[in-house]
Amino acid sequence: MNTPSNLKYTKSDEWFDPSTGAVGITDYAQGQLSDIVFVELLVDEGEEVTAGKAIASVESVKASAEIYAPAAGKVSAVNKGLSDKPEILNSDPFGEGWMIKIEGGSAGDVMDAAAYVTYCEGRAH
């Protein structure tokens, strides 16, 4: 499982980059969902979000899932290309697979990479 140490993670499997404000789903989440076939972003640039608010809906061949904001703030960018290439969430969840960017906000209930790995290992049993 790829878990970059510079990111923060939520128990609902979103990642947050405090330095850029980028938000996406974790490698663990995309692996659990399997082949992602649809992404709908529920927020737009300029909107205010609160930590825990639904920002996207993702569907795979196995399941669908809501994606929640891991931080509060103003949406500064939206990755509109995801609706045309939802599979990028499987192949590059921490790069081209970012969903939105949040500026001027504060992180919600997040954990560092080591704590997230421990959390995921606990769920595997």
Element at 31 (helix H, strand E) = helix 27-33
Residue 31 belongs to some domain of the structure: yes
Residue 115 belongs to some domain of the structure: no
Per residue in 59-106, pLDDT (tens digit) is 999 899 999 999 999 999 999 999 999 999 999 999 999 999 999 878
Residue 45 belongs to some domain of the structure: yes
Residue 118 belongs to some domain of the structure: no
CATH number at residue 93: 2.40.50.100
pLDDT tier, 110 (very low <50, low <70, confident <90, very high otherwise)? very high
Give the number of domains in the chain. Answer: 1
Residue 121 belongs to some domain of the structure: no
pTM of the model: 0.94
Measured CA to CA, the distance from residue 59 to residue 54 in angstroms comes to: 14
Rounding to the nearest 10 degrees, give the CA dihedral for residues 42, 100, 48, 116: 100
Residue 32 belongs to some domain of the structure: yes
Residue 52 sits in which domain range?
Answer: 8-110
